[in-house]
Every structure is written in structure tokens, then in C-alpha cells.
Amino acid sequence: MIDQLYRKAILTVAERKPVENLVRARGWGLAQRFVAGEDIPSALSAVQELAKDGIQGNLDLLGEFIESPADCTRFADNVIRLLDAAHEAGITPYVSIKLSSVGQGKDDAGTDLGLKNARRIITKAKEYGGFVCLDMEDHPRTDITLEQFRVLVGEFGNKHVGTVLQSYLFRSLKDRESLDDLKPNLRIVKGAYLEPETVAFKDKSDVDANYRRLVYQNMQAGNYTNVATHDETIIDDVKRFVLAHGIERDSFEFQMLYGIRRDLQKELAQEGYRVRAYIPYGRDWYAYFSRRIAETPRNAVFVARGMLKG
Ligand code: FDA
């Protein structure tokens, strides 16, 4: 409950234009704790740096609330540029995209522009043996994202495209089950958006309990599972669960965000688990940065101190 109130307060303040202007002007130095850089070379060097510790990368070109169809297509072109650059650098590309950024819900001569651009991105990723994860956004987009995921798995197979389920949503257990016929690659997260009580659990204990259920059921269904959390208690429980149920280490991985619990990421990699860090980069870092602050008061203190130092 307190977590929800805190998140609501931060995300509401973050939406105010003067706050955004102030943070954009003075906060880049601080944002770099969570964002690898503003361009492709910085993102790729973050991947190479993490690889030294046995941690793989999941690249995310930042960009939300992209309005015009032309900008959405330009954004997709930039993701394709990233795939090309990663391939040229000898990195098998693994990227995440938000379908809203590439035009989801916008009509393009009878086809959804987001689906059309996602096809272009996945075609390129597949050519390089890579992978595209469709991030999950706020709940009005859940249905369309899952529908489009189904279409894309049908076209490209489940080895090159995956998506995300959020344990704070009441619906996610049913959604997970409904995808089983695809043998999907699923990332399980708690959820980062401000959602109404009508659709999402408000108590952290319910969100955490649902998180475990989603992970365990997805593993037992034989689907590849991305356990995306920094929650050490859950990570320890998952380690015990996989041991007890004979789940192979190559059928799941732990995922965390760039700049968060690097110690734990390294430790898990050293223990022989697959670990992947979600590496955001790009100029449009404000919304991503706000969500990270909204996740824990510790980050708000970190930012407030940094802004005061100026
Ligand atoms: P929880 O919030 O319970 O935190 C557990 C512990 O982790 C805390 O006690 C704290 O120590 C640490 N921690 C968590 N967040 C931190 C932070 N920002 N800074 C410092 N410490 C922190 N969400 C979504 O809605 N759609 C998506 O597609 C994705 N994708 C995604 C990919 C990956 C790889 C990750 C790790 C997360 C996402 N998320 C996401 C975000 C997710 O929904 C959630 O908001 C964060 O992961 C924080 O929740 P935790 O599971 O870490 O647990």
C-alpha cells in the first residue's frame, strides 16, 4: 500500500512540466547511473563491459510518447540501426521495444503501424540470430500487445520474439496460461506503471505472491522464463524451486536493470546462472528515469542529493 502511494506521488510529480524541465536540464549526470549513454557506441560498450563478468545485454533504445507515424517509423529505423551496429561489433543482438514507440494503435493503410514496424525489426534481428522482447506497457495496451505477440510468434517463431507479463495485474495468470500453446519466451516482472485498483493488486505481498506463481507455472509449463527482478528473496526461492523441480539452467535466466544490483548480477553469473542486464540508452531518458525513482525511495534520495549539489 505504502509502495503504491510512494509510486503514485513520484510519478504524478514527474509528469509536471517544470519538474521535467529541471530534471532534464540538471539530471543527466544522475540518470547515467541507470542509462548507458545517449548513443549506440555507448550502449554497445556497456554490453562489452558486462560481458567481461559473464552478463549478457538486452538493449533498449529509449523513447516513449512518440506521436506522429513518421516519428514511430524513424524510431523503428533507429532500432534497426542498433541491430546492424551490434551485429557489426560481433554482438548477437537482443533488444527490447515498446510497441507504442513504433506505432501500435496507429493505422497504416489497413495495418497496425506498430505491428508493421515490429515485423521489420524482428526480420532483421532474426537475420542476425538475435531476439526482440516486446516490453509490456500500461494496462490499456495489454490486450493488443498480447494479440500482436501471438501474430509475431506465428510469423517468426518463439526463438526470436518474446514478451512480458506483470505480476501486479489480476489478469496475468490467465494471460500466461492462454499463451502456453506458443511455448512462449516470457519475461516476468512486477510492473512499473501507475495502475488503478480495478486491475492491479495494491499490496506488495500480493504482487510478490503472484510473481512467484507466474514464474513457477511458466517454468513448469516448459516455457523459457526470464526472471526479471532485483528481489533477492524471490531470486533465492527461484533457485530452490528450479533445484527441486529439475528445471534446467538453460531454460531460464535472471534479468536485472542496468546499474541496479550489479553485485547480485555478478554473483549469479559466477554461480553459473544465465544473467542478462536490461541496458537502456538514448536521449529520451526522462520517463524511464522517473520509473526507476518511483521504485524505491533510496533512488529519490540519491537524485535529491545530486540535484542539490547541482
Ligand atoms: P521490488 O520493487 O520489490 O524491489 C526488490 C528490491 O530490489 C528492493 O528492495 C530494492 O532493494 C531493489 N530495487 C528494485 N528497484 C530498484 C531500483 N530502481 N533502484 C534500486 N534498487 C531497486 N516493468 C514493466 O511494467 N514492463 C516491462 O516490460 C518491464 N521490463 C523490465 C525488464 C527487466 C529486466 C527488469 C528487471 C524490470 C522490468 N520492469 C518492467 C520493471 C519491473 O516491473 C519493476 O518495476 C522493477 O523490476 C522493480 O521491481 P523488483 O522486481 O526489482 O522488485
How far, in Å, from the CA of 212 to the mean position of ligand 1?
14
Calpha distance 310→305 (Å, rounded): 9
How do the domains of the chain map onto residue ranges? 35-284
Separation between Cα atoms, residue 290 and residue 15, nearest integer Å: 9
Looking at the annotation, which residues are catalytic? 135, 187
- The SS3 of residue 118 is helix
pLDDT along the chain (310 residues), means of 10: 74 76 72 90 97 98 89 97 98 97 96 98 98 98 98 98 98 98 98 95 97 98 98 98 98 95 96 98 86 78 62
pLDDT of residue 288: 83
User: Does the beta carbon of 189 sit less than 6 angstroms from any atom of ligand 1?
Assistant: yes
CATH architecture of 35-284: Alpha-Beta Barrel (3.20)
Give the model's pLDDT for residue 1: 60
Q: What is the pLDDT of residue 112?
A: 98
Coil, helix or strand for 280?
Answer: strand
Q: CA 16, CA 14: separation in Å to the nearest integer?
A: 5
- CB of 278 within 6 A of ligand 1: the answer is yes
pLDDT given at position 290: 82
Verify whether ligand 1 is closer than 6 Å to residue 135 (CB atom). Answer: yes
**What's the CA-to-centroid distance between 190 and ligand 1, angstroms?**
7
Find out whether the beta carbon of 166 lies less than 6 Å from any atom of ligand 1.
Answer: yes
